């Protein structure tokens, strides 16, 4: 059970359904887009540590957990499209990435898949990838060939663009992939809900242009320490970003706090 702490205080509720009940796919008006981000973070603010064996930054198993993953899936369940990074696909090609969410894969999440169907959503969300390098292994794209993949890039490398387009990827090229560009592309493609699952650079890109609406943050009550670490933003911002708390749930079973914020 979860204990809701805000806005109502000390109300208990089941974990399952807590985020699925939010109807995030219906927040945007016609011709608009609702973008939401989600992270699990340690008490000392780390979303990832450098894993020397893997040679990559990764979410440490000491904070990753099934209860958070359930809510991660519920958020994915409400998305028309998932926003991610090229680095993620490079990790996926080497089997170093977390699952790319077949939403509702496995019995435990079958209810989410059924919910999507009932809501008239596609069986899986499409995928939008940000990349300057266009270094996106085609083998990794194979893993999401059941969905439309869109790549946003500042690269002018015609041969890389053609290689991607030949596999059915839609490539949108611009001088700089800004938050506003991401938002406009999503709107032009008539998406209404976009779930941002990338790391600090994509997050910063969206924040700089006030292009992200809400943040779902799981704080795991663990100190990870470390010196090669990744946080929620990790780059200079022109202005500090305030957030407004919308809801807060304590999960004593897994020693973590689920919070929902809007960016103000
Ligand atoms: N704890 C959590 O909840 C959580 C959530 C997400 C990620 N993470 C961790 O964070 C780490 C980093 O994730 P990530 O690689 O997805 O992070 P990221 O820092 O957001 O993305 C990095 C890559 O995205 C592309 N990119 C970012 N902003 C761009 C822009 N404005 N224009 C064009 N391309 C842009 C670039 O690709 P190119 O190099 O191709 O140009 C860049 O290398 C991972 O280890 C992951 O495990 C943790």
- Provide the token pair at 64: 């990753």
Q: What is the pLDDT of residue 264?
A: 93
pLDDT exceeds cutoff 80 at 217: yes
Q: How far is the CA of 200 from the centre of ligand 1 (A)?
A: 6
Instruction: Answer whether residue 60 is part of any domain.
Output: yes
> Which residue's CA is the closest to the ligand 1 atom numbered 19?
201
How far away, in angstroms, is 253 Cα from ligand 1 center?
Answer: 30
pLDDT digits (tens, 9 = 90+) for 85-139: 999 889 888 877 766 667 877 889 999 999 999 999 999 999 999 999 999 999 8
User: What is the dihedral sign for C-alpha 207, 193, 42, 242?
Assistant: positive
Distance between Cα 119 and ligand 1 center (Å): 30
Establish if 263 belongs to a structural domain.
no
Q: Are strands 34-42 and 214-220 parallel, antiparallel or unpaired?
A: parallel
Angle at 221 between CA 220 and CA 227, to 5 degrees: 85
Tell the residue nearest (CA) to atom 20 of ligand 1: 199
Assign residue 50 the CATH number of its domain: 3.40.430.10
Q: Confirm or reject: Cβ of 205 under 6 Å from ligand 1.
A: yes
Band (23; pLDDT cuts 50, 70, 90): very high
- 193 CB-near residues (< 8 Å, 6+ apart): 24, 25, 27, 28, 33, 34, 35, 36, 78, 79, 80, 81
258 within some domain: no
Distance CA 78, CA 66 (A): 19
The answer as to whether 39 is a domain residue is yes
Residue 63, domain member (yes or no): yes
End-to-end CA distance of the chain: 30
**From ligand 1's centre to the CA of 103, what distance in Å?**
21
The number of distinct structural domains making up the chain is 1
227 vs 55, 57, 207, CA distance in Å? 15, 12, 25
Q: Which atom of ligand 1 is nearest to the CA of 198?
A: 16
Per the structure block, which two tokens stand in for 247?
Answer: 């809801």
Model confidence pTM above 0.95: yes
The finding on whether 49 has its CB within 6 A of some atom of ligand 1 is: no
Domain-located, residue 11: yes
**Assigned domain for 262 exists:** no
Domain limits at 69? 2-253
Inside any domain, residue 259: no
Strand, coil or helix: 25: helix
Digit-coded pLDDT (tens) for 228-245 = 999 999 999 999 999 999
């Amino acid at each position: 059970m979860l204990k809701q702490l805000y806005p109502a205080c000390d109300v208990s509720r089941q974990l399952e359904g807590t985020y699925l009940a939010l109807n995030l796919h219906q927040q945007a008006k016609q011709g608009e887009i609702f973008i939401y981000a989600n992270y699990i973070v340690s008490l000392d603010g780390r979303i990832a540590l450098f894993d020397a064996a893997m040679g990559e930054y990764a979410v440490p198993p000491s904070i990753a957990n099934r209860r958070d993953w359930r809510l991660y899936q519920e958020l994915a369940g409400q998305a028309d499209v998932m926003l991610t990074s090229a680095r993620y696909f490079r990790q996926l090609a080497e089997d170093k990435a977390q699952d790319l969410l077949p939403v509702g894969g496995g019995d435990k999440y079958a209810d989410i898949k059924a919910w999507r169907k009932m809501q008239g959503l596609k069986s899986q969300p499409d995928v939008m990838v940000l990349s300057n390098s266009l270094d996106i292994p085609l083998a990794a794209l194979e893993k999401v060939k059941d969905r439309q993949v869109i790549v946003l890039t500042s690269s002018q490398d015609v041969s890389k663009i053609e290689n991607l387009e030949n596999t059915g990827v839609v490539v949108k090229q611009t001088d700089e992939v800004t938050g506003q560009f991401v938002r406009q592309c999503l709107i032009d493609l008539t998406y209404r809900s976009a779930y941002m699952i990338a790391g600090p650079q994509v997050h910063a890109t969206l924040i700089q242009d006030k292009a992200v609406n809400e943040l779902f943050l799981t704080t795991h009550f663990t100190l990870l320490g470390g010196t090669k670490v990744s946080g929620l933003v990790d780059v200079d911002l022109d202005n500090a970003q305030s957030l407004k708390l919308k809801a807060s749930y304590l999960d004593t079973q897994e020693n973590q706090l689920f919070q929902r914020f809007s960016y103000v």
